[in-house]
């Protein structure tokens, strides 16, 4: 995202970077490495998508696939040639997407990071929210949960509609199309052109929703009016989990 570029230009040294930049750079590097390793392991052997290529080309394809799933959506190999495991990995990377204030889609790397830290805080309350010497606000963690939930519900509903309208479609292929549309990636397992009108409109709406972003949609649908009263209802716990 542009804030990270500006931060790198102005400060250069790691210790001087803002927390946002450190999180974005760290998680981006981690996702690139894990994605590259995952695709290489699953597609380099047997009848994998690039099993017959030279070793250097295999690693290059694995890295390109890992990066492309979260950004441009260019394909160096036909996506339908990927194994089911690789398709699931690609779906996960597309759902995460890029970073805030960038052209990439998805729920964003910082949202995923906030969810991970929030989960850890439930396991280790004292250390779970601290990162790089800073603690994330509780309001931000709640907002990250809302973004992820809205994105998950919308994507699940879109996948259900495609499954309902396209009985001959493989569910994995349909889910791939939905998440690719939500994350505005553009990758396809050669399915979109054969879909019916309802399914294609569903993908169009999913793409628009993903481009607007779950957070913007949350603000648009929610009430922004300030409370007129000064009292709050009493709190009461419920059993969860």
pLDDT at residue 95 greater than cutoff 80: yes
Name the more confident of 91 and 135.
91
pLDDT at residue 128 greater than cutoff 60: no
Name the more confident of 122 and 114.
114
Confidence of residue 7 (pLDDT cuts 50, 70, 90): confident
Q: What average pLDDT does range 156-177 have in this prediction?
A: 94
Name the more confident of 39 and 17.
39
The domain spans of the chain are: 2-221
Q: What average pLDDT does range 75-84 have in this prediction?
A: 89
Name the more confident of 1 and 199.
199
Q: What is the spatial distance between Cα 197 and Cα 195, in angstroms, rounded to a whole number?
A: 7
pLDDT at residue 169 greater than cutoff 80: yes
Name the more confident of 119 and 201.
201
Please, what is the average pLDDT of the chain?
86
pLDDT at residue 51 greater than cutoff 70: yes
pLDDT at residue 23 greater than cutoff 70: yes
Query: What does the pLDDT read at residue 229?
Result: 66
Query: What does the pLDDT read at residue 223?
Result: 56
pTM: 0.87
The DSSP line for 127-154 is TTTEETTEE--HHHHHHHHHHHHHHHHH
Q: What is the spatial distance between Cα 137 and Cα 126, in angstroms, rounded to a whole number?
A: 14
Q: What average pLDDT does range 27-54 have in this prediction?
A: 89
Q: What percent of the chain has pLDDT over 70?
A: 90
Q: What percent of the chain has pLDDT over 90?
A: 47
Helical spans, DSSP H, in the chain: 2-11, 19-43, 55-68, 84-96, 109-123, 138-165, 171-182, 197-212, 214-221
Q: What is the spatial distance between Cα 238 and Cα 187, in angstroms, rounded to a whole number?
A: 42
Query: What does the pLDDT read at residue 127?
Result: 58
């Amino acid at each position: 995202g542009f804030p990270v570029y500006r931060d790198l230009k102005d400060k250069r040294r790691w210790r001087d970077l803002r927390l946002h930049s450190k999180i974005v750079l760290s998680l981006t590097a981690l996702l690139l490495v894990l994605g590259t390793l995952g695709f290489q392991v699953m597609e380099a052997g047997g009848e994998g998508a690039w099993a017959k290529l030279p070793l250097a080309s295999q690693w290059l394809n694995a890295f390109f696939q890992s990066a492309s799933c979260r950004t441009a959506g260019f394909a160096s190999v036909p996506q339908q040639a990927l194994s089911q495991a690789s398709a699931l990995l690609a779906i996960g990377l597309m759902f995460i997407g890029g970073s805030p204030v960038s052209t990439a889609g998805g729920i964003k790397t910082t949202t995923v990071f906030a969810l991970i830290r929030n989960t850890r805080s439930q396991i280790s309350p004292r250390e779970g929210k601290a990162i790089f010497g800073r603690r994330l606000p509780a309001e931000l963690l709640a907002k990250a949960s809302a973004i992820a939930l809205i994105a998950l519900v919308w994507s699940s509903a879109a996948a259900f509609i495609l499954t309902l309208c396209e009985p001959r479609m493989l569910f994995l292929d349909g889910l791939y199309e939905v998440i690719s549309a939500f994350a505005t990636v553009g990758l396809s397992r050669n399915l979109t052109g054969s879909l019916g009108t309802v399914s294609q409109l569903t993908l169009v709406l999913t793409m628009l929703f993903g481009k607007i972003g779950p957070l913007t949609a949350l603000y648009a649908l929610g009430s922004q009016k300030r409370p007129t009263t000064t009292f709050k209802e009493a709190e009461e716990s419920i059993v969860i989990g």
